[in-house]
């Protein structure tokens, strides 16, 4: 029974935060751009999300006649599904987690690879050149960035001696991994932005050139699912950064561990939005070049040095 409550709780928290992020992001972007953002509906515009949701539910959910219907319908579900599944292994506190898996990190990496399918299939099934271009870009970008996203985590795994996210947090009692694994953190953060394909790495969407990229043909709640999926991804990557590098729920004891986890995650979500507010979108080949020529060797070097130091200390 307790198990059931935790699952429902995690689902509710994740979806509420993702929906709330729509408002948070617009307000924060307003703050960084010297304006207000939505402030009409309800106090501070808080009901804006609700209004948007009502609007999106009443919109016509149109499937283009030239689309590959079953795949078209399935694609947004895959995105939400894989991201929500990954939340199962995130340790919100030492005891509040759905699944204390001994392969937590691998589970996350596997799920994020599956998430690529949603975008590739969505773009493919739309049968539209812009969607297809967007999904080609997305697949190349996400495959590239997944390579060193995984490699950047190897250092953390070596230091914690475990794939379990809970044990990785426990291993950070002495020192947060962000200090010995600083480069891994930077690489993981960059890869995380690319993984959730947000600005500056929103090349698959690139509304300046590709209309809306892979979700050009989507409308109504299917588009809404892509939209919420992006914010779920931001929440997920932020909570993973906190878990892997910033000591998860660990913090001074005067506040409960859940608070520390929540607080750190919110900080990283705000950092995501700040990065979006300040950086332009690079060209596609530049993105690939940075990925393969700089970040991948850096990740490998990080593994090498971490391994050497660990052996030396042993």
Partner 1 sequence: MISILRSIWFTFLHAFHKRETRGYPEKKPYLPPRYRGRIILSRDPDGKERCVACNLCAAACPVDCIALQAAEDKDGRRYPEFFRINFSRCIFCGFCEEACPTYAIQLTPDFEMGEYDRQNMVYEKEHLLIRGEGKYHGYNFYKVAGVDMGVKGKGDGDNEEPPVDLKRLIH
Listed ranges 44-52, 113-121, 162-170, 276-284: which one lies at the site for partner 1 (CB under 8 A) = 276-284
Q: Does residue 285 touch partner 1 according to CB under 8 A?
A: no
Q: Pick from 98, 145, 144, 140: which is nearest to 120 by CA?
A: 140
Handedness of CA 155, 233, 265, 273 (dihedral sign): positive
Q: How many residues of this chain bind partner 1 (CB under 8 A)?
A: 12
Q: Does residue 277 touch partner 1 according to CB under 8 A?
A: yes
* Cβ–Cβ < 8 Å for 222, 278: no
What lies within 8 Å, CB to CB, of 291 at 6+ separation is 141, 144, 145, 148, 194
* Cβ–Cβ < 8 Å for 197, 40: no
- Mark residues 86-125: x for contact with partner 1 by CB under 8 A, - for none: ----------------------------------------
**Minimum distance, C-beta of residue 23 to partner 1, in the bound complex (Å):** 17
**Minimum distance, C-beta of residue 153 to partner 1, in the bound complex (Å):** 22
Closer CB to partner 1, 95 or 278, in the complex: 278
In three-state secondary structure terms, 88 is helix
Closer CB to partner 1, 35 or 283, in the complex: 35
d(CA 283, CA 243): 32
Can you point out the beta strands (E) in the chain?
none
**From the list 7, 8, 279, 305, which residue makes contact with partner 1 (rule: CB under 8 A)?**
279
Touching partner 1, residues 215-274 (CB under 8 A): 274
Closer CB to partner 1, 11 or 275, in the complex: 275
**Minimum distance, C-beta of residue 62 to partner 1, in the bound complex (Å):** 30
Task: Compute the half-sphere exposure of residue 55: CA atoms within 13 Å on the CB side of its CA.
Answer: 8
**Minimum distance, C-beta of residue 32 to partner 1, in the bound complex (Å):** 5
**Minimum distance, C-beta of residue 274 to partner 1, in the bound complex (Å):** 6
Q: Pick from 198, 183, 197: which is nearest to 296 by CA?
A: 183
**Minimum distance, C-beta of residue 278 to partner 1, in the bound complex (Å):** 3
Listed ranges 52-60, 107-115, 133-141, 275-283: which one lies at the site for partner 1 (CB under 8 A) = 275-283
d(CA 58, CA 269): 29
Touching partner 1, residues 10-39 (CB under 8 A): 30-36
Closer CB to partner 1, 226 or 272, in the complex: 272
**Minimum distance, C-beta of residue 54 to partner 1, in the bound complex (Å):** 23
d(CA 262, CA 255): 11
Task: Compute the half-sphere exposure of residue 15: CA atoms within 13 Å on the CB side of its CA.
Answer: 13
Gap between the terminal Cα atoms of the chain: 44
**From the list 275, 298, 303, 310, which residue makes contact with partner 1 (rule: CB under 8 A)?**
275
Residues within the interface to partner 1 (CB under 8 A): 30-36, 274-275, 277-279
């Amino acid at each position: 029974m307790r198990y059931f409550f935790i699952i429902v709780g995690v689902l509710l928290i994740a979806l509420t935060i993702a929906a709330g992020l729509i408002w948070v992001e617009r307000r924060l972007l307003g703050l960084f751009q010297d304006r207000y953002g939505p402030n009409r509906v309800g106090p501070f515009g808080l009901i804006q999300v609700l209004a948007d949701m009502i609007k999106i539910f009443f919109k016509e959910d149109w499937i283009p006649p030239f689309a590959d219907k079953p795949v078209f319908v399935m694609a947004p579900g895959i995105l939400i599904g894989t991201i929500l599944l990954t939340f199962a292994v995130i340790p919100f506190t030492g005891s509040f987690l759905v699944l204390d898996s001994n392969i937590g990190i691998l589970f996350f990496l596997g799920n994020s690879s599956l998430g690529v399918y949603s975008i590739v299939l969505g773009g493919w099934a739309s049968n539209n050149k812009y969607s297809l271009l967007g999904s080609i870009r997305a697949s190349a970008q996400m495959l590239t960035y997944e390579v060193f996203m995984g490699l950047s985590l190897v250092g953390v795994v070596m230091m914690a001696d475990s794939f379990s996210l809970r044990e990785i947090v426990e291993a950070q009692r002495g020192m947060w991994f962000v200090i010995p694994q600083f480069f891994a953190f930077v690489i993981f953060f960059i890869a995380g932005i690319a993984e959730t394909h947000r600005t500056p790495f929103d090349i698959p969407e690139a509304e300046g050139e590709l209309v809306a990229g892979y979700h050009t043909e989507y409308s109504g709640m299917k588009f809404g699912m892509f939209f919420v999926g992006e914010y779920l991804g931001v929440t997920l990557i932020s909570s993973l950064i906190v878990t892997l590098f910033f000591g998860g729920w660990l913090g001074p004891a005067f506040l409960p561990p859940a608070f520390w986890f929540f607080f750190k995650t919110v900080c990283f979500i705000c950092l995501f939005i700040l990065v979006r507010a300040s950086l332009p979108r690079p060209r596609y080949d530049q993105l690939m070049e940075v990925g393969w020529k700089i970040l991948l060797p850096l990740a490998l070097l990080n593994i090498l040095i971490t391994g050497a130091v660990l052996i030396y200390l042993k």
